[in-house]
């Protein structure tokens, strides 16, 4: 059986050169089901994102309570381009999470920038608790 890192590399390489993503998605899903490896999907996708990033493709997911405006989407994309100027391509995904009170969380392969109100409140809570000790 092929190891997860090897599988991630194969998938990552194919994503760089395929135009029909639907066929690729079906092939990956079929392989994972046949091999009984559906539990690996989260780790596998993280590894694929790392592979793509290593090869110059920056992919990020913005998590927010509401859909992003065009202006905010443009700002986030500009920030990614500024932070990773040598990238060959940029992909910005959006995910709505009703648990996010406000603000946004930016998730990338192995990195996260949490600018949500909840994260800021948690920092305030920790600072307040540390002072009372």
pLDDT at 77: 92
Pairing of strands 89-96, 111-114: unpaired
Decide: helix, strand or coil at residue 106.
Answer: strand
Burial environment of residue 58 by CB neighbours within 10 A (0 to 12, 13 to 18, 19 or more):
buried
The per-residue pLDDT for 117 is: 92
Q: How far is Cα 128 from Cα 33, in angstroms, rounded to an integer?
A: 49
In this prediction, residue 133 carries a pLDDT of 66
What is the token pair recorded at 128?
């307040």
pLDDT at 25: 86
Mean pLDDT of each 10-residue bin along the chain, 133 residues long? 88 85 86 90 88 90 94 92 91 92 89 90 88 71
Task: Mention every residue, 6+ apart, whose C-beta is less than 8 A from residue 117.
Answer: 100, 101, 102, 103
């Amino acid at each position: 059986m092929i190891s997860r890192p090897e599988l991630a590399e194969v998938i990552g390489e194919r994503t760089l050169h395929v135009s029909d993503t639907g066929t690729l998605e079906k092939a990956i899903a079929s392989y994972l089901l046949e091999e009984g490896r559906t539990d690996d999907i989260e780790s596998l996708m993280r590894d694929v994102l790392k592979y793509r990033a290593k090869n110059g493709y920056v992919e990020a997911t913005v998590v927010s309570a509401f859909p992003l405006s065009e202006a905010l989407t443009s700002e986030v994309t500009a920030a990614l381009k500024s932070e990773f100027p040598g990238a060959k391509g940029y992909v910005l995904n959006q995910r709505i999470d009703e648990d996010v009170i406000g603000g946004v969380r930016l998730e990338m392969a192995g990195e996260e920038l949490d600018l949500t109100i909840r994260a800021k409140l948690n920092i305030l809570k920790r600072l307040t608790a540390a002072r009372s000790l």
